[in-house]
Amino acid sequence: MPNPGDRVGHYVIARPLGKGGEAAVYQGRDLESGRAVVVKVLEPSQLGEVAAFERFRREVAIGRLLKHPGIPRLLDVHDDARPPYIVLEYMDGESLRSIMEAQRRLPVSRALEIATSLAEVVAYCHAHRVYHRDLKPENILVDAAGRVKIIDFGIALLEDAPRVTWRGFSGLVGTPEYMAPEQIKGERGGPQTDVYAMGLILYEMLAGRPPYRSANPLSTMYQHLNMTAEPLRTYRDDVPVPVAAIVARAMRRRKEERFATAAEMHAALCHPETVDTSVLERPDPPLGVPLHESLTRHPLFVLGAVAVVTAVLALLAEMILRH
Amino acid sequence: MRLLGRPPAPPLPVVAEVGSATHAGRVRPKNEDYLLTEVPDDPAVAAVRGSLFLVADGVGGAGGGAIASAEASHVVLQEYYLDRRGDPGRHLRRAVERANLHVYNLRMGHPDLSGMQTTLTALALCGRRFWIGHAGDSKLFLLRDGELRQLTRDHTVVEDMRRLGLVDAPAAGRHRHRHLLTRTVGGDVLLAVDLVSGRCRPGDGYILATDGLFEHLTPEDVRTAFTNSPPAEAAAACVAEANRRGGFDNLTVLGVRLMG
């Protein structure tokens, strides 16, 4: 893999930006035009993986298809190089993650501005039948004018997971904090998967923490399927009820109960006064094994019930033995 | 009339037949699976270490997977038979741990092969017992009294999800991420090797297979094949059938049958 200062074609590598299971991403400079670019190089260990190369080629196809100021343009493709690489437009902006780190809870108006801009870019992708499937604050840039840019379509292409290890998990199959229930269940994910992630991101911008989070990825997945997120307005009462309703609808566990597309969510964000707020009152039943939640939520009650049943059985056994 | 005293010990289980088949499948350009069979001729070795059978499924492109599976298999073979003292189970575990370190060091030393790792499932048959050393999602089944039972647990994310109740068994079998491994030989400096042991019975069948086979065949298909045919024929038939149904991945199956 290249190091800073190395030349790749007519590009010079400036610094690494990130590394996933299948590719490494660098900031570079085009020696012909002088402009900053992003160079994405296929991981050499993936060269023999038919599926990985196929995904690489489809990323190229998507890059050629999407032309929007919120999505980096595909500038150059070298799929016959060893290792193959593509060159993308370098986009300026601050990552939503670092914005949220600097200010844990964003003002409602700022959070709504970002969410609306995000929904607009995602709606454009959905209109072209491209679904991102890994939207998260790290993949979202916000420029000085408040416009959102989505920078990683790495798993938008994911048809079948390659044979990789847990270490590469978040880079290849979505990040557990932002995975939709249907992805956890094994589905590929569609427009409602992006809607779910956008709901989680808006929730996090307003609440200052993601609704489901744990040190263990499996436990986070469990929470998506079974736990109920703390209502937004328990964190702050300046969140308007219609905004809380938009978040709640986007985060419904069953995809058919969410906004059908990003365009629908975008319309709701633009006109919150039209939103049906009854979703806040409707239960959202778990999708997994319910006993675990009752154990987690009411452990004393469950353990007490087990103790009572055991005691009754012991008494019965003693009575039977005496007689 | 039976004389007083201990009844005569049943005869030692003897390996009657071994058969295997391996194939790249119809999609992948290369076979990165590996298998090994060792039935020692030397009675002294056979008495203390018995026979060893293993399958390994290499991970990582650019040829690394094939190197990882072959290297790991040979290290296990060498380490298992090198020291003839002590318990075979403990030795098998240590042999797999050494293979892990070996592959880990190899990939650390070769940047182009940095992704290489392998699954490994090894069966040792010694005296009246068997031991299984296992890491990854290759599988070992016991075929006894006409029933097939998986003795290994898949080290995959989806298997962990199934155990947690996040997905049910049928969904786990179809899950898009069913190949994501949580443990491999060469993946990390330390490896927790699963060690399973049990008592052999005459007529037992042991079937080791890499996961590619189960992309197309069910355990019931495998049970039927190995119940009705000798291991070599059954293994060849399983691989041929998996290829006929698509052969999406490398395919390897190894069967061992004890004397009835």
Domain boundaries, chain A: 7-89, 94-280
In A, which residues are within 8 Å of B112 by CB distance? 44-45
Per-residue pLDDT averaged across B126-132, rounded? 95
- Nearest CA to A181 among A112, A244, A265, A257? A257
Mean pLDDT in residue range B164-192: 89
**Model confidence pLDDT, tens digit, residues A57-100:** 777 888 889 999 999 999 999 988 888 899 999 998 999 999 99
Of A84-98, A145-159, B164-178, the range with the lowest mean pLDDT is A145-159
**Helix, strand, or coil (residue A1):** coil
- Backbone torsions φ then ψ of B248, nearest 5 degrees: -70, -25
Q: Do A45 and B116 touch (CB under 8 A)?
A: yes
Q: Which residues contact A283 (CB under 8 A, 6 or more apart)?
A: none
Instruction: Give pLDDT, residue A57.
Output: 79
A188 Cβ under 8 Å from any chain B Cβ: yes
Average model confidence (pLDDT) for chain A?
85
Is the pLDDT reported for residue A318 higher than 80?
no
Best mutation target, B31, B59, B164, to test chain A (most A CBs within 10 A) = B164
Q: Per residue in A137-150, pLDDT tens?
A: 988 999 999 899 99
Tell me the angle at which helices A241-250 and A262-270 cross, rounded to the nearest 10 degrees.
170
pLDDT at B118: 96
Which value does ipTM take for this structure?
A: 0.71
Spans of all domains in chain B: 15-258
A window 268-297, beta carbon within 8 A of B: 288-289, 292
Q: What is the structure's pLDDT at A243? A: 97
pLDDT in tens, A174-209: 578 899 999 898 888 899 999 999 999 999 999 999
Which tens digit of pLDDT belongs to each residue from A124-140?
999 999 888 889 998 89
B182 and A166 within 8 Å at the Cβ level: the answer is yes
How far is the C-alpha of B204 from the C-alpha of B195, rounded, in Å? 19
Residue A80: alpha-carbon gap to chain centroid: 31
Q: Which residue of B has its CA nearest to A224?
A: B166
How close B61 comes to chain A (CA, Å)? 4
Nearest CA in chain B to A52: B61
Pairing of strands A140-142, A85-89: unpaired
In three-state secondary structure terms, A165 is strand
Could you give the CA distance from residue B38 to residue A284 in angstroms, rounded to a whole number?
57
> In this predicted structure, what is the pLDDT of residue B179?
85
Choose the closest CB to A46 out of B61, B160, B164. Answer: B61
pLDDT for residue A24: 83
Angle at A253 between CA A248 and CA A258, to 5 degrees: 55
Across residues A258-265, what is the average pLDDT?
Answer: 97
Is the distance from CB of A251 to CB of A203 less than 8 angstroms? yes
Check B62 against A45: CB less than 8 A apart.
Answer: yes
User: Which pLDDT tens digit goes with each residue over B1-12?
Assistant: 455 566 666 556
How do residues B29-85 score in pLDDT, each as one tens digit?
889 999 999 999 999 999 999 999 999 999 876 678 999 999 999 999 999 999 888
What pLDDT band is residue A160 in, cutting at 50, 70 and 90? very low
pLDDT of residue B162 exceeding 50: yes
CB proximity under 8 Å: A 31-90 to B: 43-50, 52
As a whole number of angstroms, the distance between CA A240 and CA A245 comes to 9
pLDDT at A82: 83
Please name the fold of domain A94-280.
Answer: Transferase(Phosphotransferase); domain 1 (1.10.510)
Task: State chain B's mean pLDDT as an integer.
Answer: 92
Identify the CA nearest to B215 among candidates B251, B191, B190, B165.
Answer: B251
- Distance from chain centroid for Cα A274: 27
Contacts of A44 in chain B (CB under 8 A): 61-62, 111-112
pTM here is 0.77
Q: Does A20 touch chain B (CB under 8 A)?
A: no
Compute CA distances A283 → A195, A227, A248, A252, whole Å: 19, 12, 11, 10
Name the fold adopted by A7-89.
Answer: Phosphorylase Kinase; domain 1 (3.30.200)
Q: Which CATH class is domain B15-258?
A: alpha beta
pLDDT digits (tens, 9 = 90+) for B223-240: 999 999 999 999 999 999
- Helix, strand, coil shares of chain A, percent, nearest 5, are 50, 15, 40
Residues of chain A with pLDDT > 90: what percent? 57
pLDDT band at A162 (very low <50, low <70, confident <90, very high): very low
Most confident of A80-89, A179-188, A305-314, B86-95: B86-95
Classify the phi-psi angles of A26: left when phi > 0, otherwise alpha if psi is within -120 to 50, otherwise beta: beta
Rounded Cα–Cα distance for residues A167 and A215 (Å): 14
Closest-CA residue of A relative to B161 is A218
